[in-house]
Structure 1
Amino acid sequence: MKAISNFVKVFSDLIEKVCEGIGTLSVAAFVVIISLQVVCRNFLKIPMVWANDISVVCFVWAVFLGSAIAVRHRAHYVLAFLPDRFEKSNCLLDIISNIAGIIFFYVMIRYGTVYTIMGMKRLSTAINIPQAYFFMCIPLSGCFMMWYTLIHMVNDVKRMISLFNKKGDLNG
């Protein structure tokens, strides 16, 4: 059991490092390209027709990979319906939220893959590369989000079991 737990931690850390690396490069490239485009357009009067396509790809990849990291750390917006003292009820709501997330991430993976495959046949207007590069981050980040949510689900179920095993607990 310890080996599985270690594998999950190491694999999750690896995914996060890859997402951070690609996301950081994407944001840096986005800023450089947009800055260069502004300078070229306003001062040099040279159009950079390719800059829009590349900057959109960079931005979309950064957002989706950043979202995967946010899912790992549960850093997305959360609505608190019940006070913290209702541990069991809040744990149940976390499990329900995980189930909803899993369904949503499945849709991202399934239809993001379909959309990516369709994008292989369509070229971007300015730089003539397959639009699949724009869309590929949707199923990929969906897989990462699914992975992290499944880990949260397992931990939340364990937490729920331990809450129900507490003797004399009237909260929840």
Structure 2
Amino acid sequence: MDTISKAIKTLSDAIEKICEGIGILSVAAFVVVISLQVVCRNFLKISMVWANDISVVCFVWAVFLGSAIAVRHRAHYVLAFLPERFEKSNCFLDIVGDIAGIIFFYVLIRYGYDYTIMGLKRMSTAINIPQAYFFMCIPLSGCFMMWYTILDIVSDVKKMVLLVNGKKEVNNG
């Protein structure tokens, strides 16, 4: 089982590095394009029609891939209903939240894929590329978020089993 755990961790780390790399490049490109657009419009009086399309693509990719990283680290918003001393109840609520996440990520994958396929037939206005490039990050990041949430639910179920069996020490790693 140790080999499987290492393989899962290696895959999860690789997915995160890919998301980070593309996310960083997207944010950097976004900043450069917007800065260039501001300089050209305000100082050179040149219109850069294509900058809007490129900045939207970069922003959307950065947001969705950053969301996948946030899901991995459980860095998304959480509403705490109960104090920490209610470990079993909080663990149960974590599992319910994981299940809700899986449902939401399924919707992202399923309908994001359909939206991306529709985007193959539509061209962006300014740069004349298929709009699928704008949308393909939705099902892709949905897959990554689903992967991380499945790992979380497995961890949470293991934690719940330990709590129900009366064991205080819970290893979340």
TM-score, length-normalised on structure 1?
A: 0.96
Mapping of residues 52-131 of structure 1, within 5 Å: 52-131=52-131
Mapping of residues 119-158 of structure 1, within 5 Å: 119-158=119-158
Provide the C-alpha distance between the structure 1 equivalents of 2:140 and 2:7, rounded to a whole number of angstroms.
20
RMSD value over aligned CA atoms?
Answer: 1.0
SS of 2:100's partner is helix
Provide the C-alpha distance between the structure 2 equivalents of 1:140 and 1:62, rounded to a whole number of angstroms.
12
Output the amino acid matched with 1:92.
F
Provide the C-alpha distance between the structure 1 equivalents of 2:40 and 2:59, rounded to a whole number of angstroms.
20
Deviation at 1:13?
Answer: 0.3
Within the alignment, does 1:166 sit opposite 2:169 as a pair? Answer: no
Deviation at 1:31?
Answer: 0.2
Measured against aligned partners, the alpha-carbon deviations of 1:7-35 in whole angstroms (never above 9, x if no partner) come to 11000000000000000000000000000
Deviation at 1:152?
Answer: 0.2
Measured against aligned partners, the alpha-carbon deviations of 1:120-172 in whole angstroms (never above 9, x if no partner) come to 0000000100000000000000000000000000000000000011179xxxx
Within the alignment, does 1:21 sit opposite 2:3 as a pair? Answer: no
Provide the C-alpha distance between the structure 2 equivalents of 1:7 and 1:61, rounded to a whole number of angstroms.
27
TM-score, length-normalised on structure 2?
A: 0.96
Measured against aligned partners, the alpha-carbon deviations of 1:86-126 in whole angstroms (never above 9, x if no partner) come to 00000000000000000000000000000000000000000
Runs of 4+ in 1 over 6 A off after TM superposition: none
Q: Which runs of 5+ in 2 are unaligned?
A: 169-173
Who is 1:39 aligned against? 39
Measured against aligned partners, the alpha-carbon deviations of 1:34-57 in whole angstroms (never above 9, x if no partner) come to 000000011111111100000000
